Amino acid sequence: MSSSDPTVQPVPASVVEQVDAADVTLSNPKRAVISLGSNLGNRLETLQGAIDALEDTPGLRVKAVSPVYETDPWGVESGTQATYFNAVVLIKTTLPPSSLLERGHAIEEAFERVRDERWGPRTIDVDIVAYQDVVSDDPQLTLPHPRAHERAFVLVPWNDVDPQAEVPGRGTVAGLLAAVGQDGVRVRVDLELRLPE
């Protein structure tokens, strides 16, 4: 084998860039934002389990994980439920929104999520907050999430992982957060969620 054998030559950076660009074009991943919440059982372990399950999904990569926030339950009388741990995950995926929704429901089922009552306690809540710039009022999956723009427990962690983010049709996350305020959303610096390897 002579040294002029092309298989042993370093690949020029320009070729690597072209291959990377082609790879992105081929798979054409979309950006999506997932909100996670848990107020039953080992909340931190459940959130991490949901993140790991997302990463294990074919056609999906977890790109960023927010800090953990502790929040009071939404829509119920104070003290009637445990507090929530909330986080936001940024993903890139080739899955369409409907398949991503199915995956979210499958993760909820795996963690024995029970849907008995509206705003009831839950082991895990997996919500698709936004998918690329899609605006859709499909009753199965409204995009962006119809109440995300008014919920600090979604906006605060989302702003952490993507300060330039926008809620399609609603404005910037930072602007919406300034309007809503951060009352009742407490960062838990003692807790950490890992980005999957």
Question: In terms of Cα–Cα distance, which of 146, 153, 151, 150 is closest to 130?
Answer: 146
**Cα dihedral 184, 189, 193, 197 sign:** positive
- 74 belongs to a structural domain: yes
Helix (H) and strand (E) counts for the chain? 5, 8
State yes or no: pLDDT of 11 exceeds 90.
no
- 194 belongs to a structural domain: no
Which CATH number is 76's domain given? 3.30.70.560
- 58 belongs to a structural domain: yes
User: pLDDT digits over 107-121, tens only?
Assistant: 998 887 555 555 556
Question: Residue 196 has what pLDDT?
Answer: 85
State yes or no: pLDDT of 24 exceeds 50.
no
Q: Which domain holds residue 77?
A: 29-187
State yes or no: pLDDT of 142 exceeds 70.
yes
Question: Residue 25 has what pLDDT?
Answer: 41
Active site residues: 113, 122, 125, 127
Taking the C-alpha atoms of residue 181 and residue 17, their distance in angstroms, rounded to an integer, is 42
How far is the CA of 192 from the CAs of 43, 106, 157, 163, 195, in angstroms?
12, 24, 13, 20, 10
State yes or no: pLDDT of 5 exceeds 60.
no
Taking the C-alpha atoms of residue 94 and residue 100, their distance in angstroms, rounded to an integer, is 9
- 10 belongs to a structural domain: no
For the chain, how many structural domains are there in total? Answer: 1
Q: For the chain, how many residues are written? A: 197
Taking the C-alpha atoms of residue 140 and residue 69, their distance in angstroms, rounded to an integer, is 28
- Amino acid letter for position 111: F
State yes or no: pLDDT of 20 exceeds 80.
no
State yes or no: pLDDT of 103 exceeds 80.
yes
Question: Residue 109 has what pLDDT?
Answer: 87
pTM of the model: 0.81
Taking the C-alpha atoms of residue 15 and residue 99, their distance in angstroms, rounded to an integer, is 34
Cα 38–39–40 angle (5° rounding)?
105
User: pLDDT digits over 29-88, tens only?
Assistant: 999 999 999 998 899 999 999 999 999 999 999 999 999 999 987 766 666 778 899 999
User: pLDDT digits over 143-192, tens only?
Assistant: 999 999 999 999 999 999 999 999 999 999 999 999 999 988 999 999 99
- 18 belongs to a structural domain: no
